[in-house]
Amino acid sequence: MLQWSAYFLSRWALLEVLEYLSVLSVLVGVVFYFSEAGDRQKQKHYQAWQVVNTAQGKGGSGGRIEALQELNLDRVPLVGVNAAGAFLQGIQLRGANLLRADLEAADLRDSGLEAVVLQYANLKSANFRQANLRRVKLAGADLSDADLVNADLSGAELRGTNLDGADLRNVNLADVAWKDIKSIERANIHAVRNAPEGFTAWALDHKAVSHPGDE
C-alpha cells in the first residue's frame, strides 16, 4: 500500500506545482529582504542616535560606546555629537568624523581614535591616557587641562589647538604638525617622546613646564 501510494503521489502533477511554489516563495522573500535593507539600516541608525542623545548629560556609558561604534562602522558622520562627561573607555572610532564634538571631561582612556577628525571639538579635561591618536586632526580643538599621558599623537595636526594645562607626559609626538599651536601654557611636557626638533624649547619658552609628577 505504501509503495503504491508513493508511486501515485509521484505521478501527481499538483505536487510539482507546490514544490515550485515553495521555491518561488523563498525567492520572493529574499527579494523583499534586500529591498527593505535600506529601511532596516535607517531604523538601526535611528535607534543608535536615540541611545546617544538620550544619554546626554549623564555619566557612564549608557550604551553610547556600542551606538557610536555602530554608526561609525556604517560611515555615519558624528559631527557635533555631545558626549560630555561620558564613560567611553576603550571606544574604537577609527576615521570617525567628530567635527565640533563635545567630549568635555569624557573618559577616553585606551581608545582607538586613529585618523579621527576632532577639529574645533571641545575636549576640555578629557582623559586620553594611552589612547591611539595617530594622525588625528585637532585643528582649533580645545584640549585645555586634558590628560594625554602615554597617548600616541604621532602625525597629529595641532594647528590652532589649545593645550593650556594639558598633561603631555610620555606622549609620542613623532611627526606632529605643531608650529601653529594656539597655546601651551602650564602644559606638562615631561619626557615627551620623539618630539620634533625645536618643539621642547619652543614649548618651554611659551610657559609649558616639565615635571615628572602629577602636581
Closest listed residue to residue 89, CA positions, set 69, 105, 106: 106
Average the pLDDT over 96-123 and give the result: 98
Please tell me the pTM assigned to this model.
0.81
Mean pLDDT across the chain? 89
State whether CATH 2.60.40 applies to domain 36-215: no
At residue 30, the pLDDT reads 58
* Rounded mean pLDDT, 156-178: 98
Residue 11: per-residue pLDDT: 60
Query: What is d(CA 157, CA 160) in angstroms, rounded to the nearest whole number?
Result: 9
What's the pLDDT tens digit per position in 70-87? 999 999 999 999 999 999
Percent of the chain with pLDDT over 70: 83
140-143, long-range: CB within 8 Å, 24+ apart, which pairs? 140/182
The predicted pLDDT at position 40 comes to: 76
Is pLDDT at 62 greater than 70 in this prediction?
A: yes
Q: Where do the domains of the chain lie?
A: 36-215
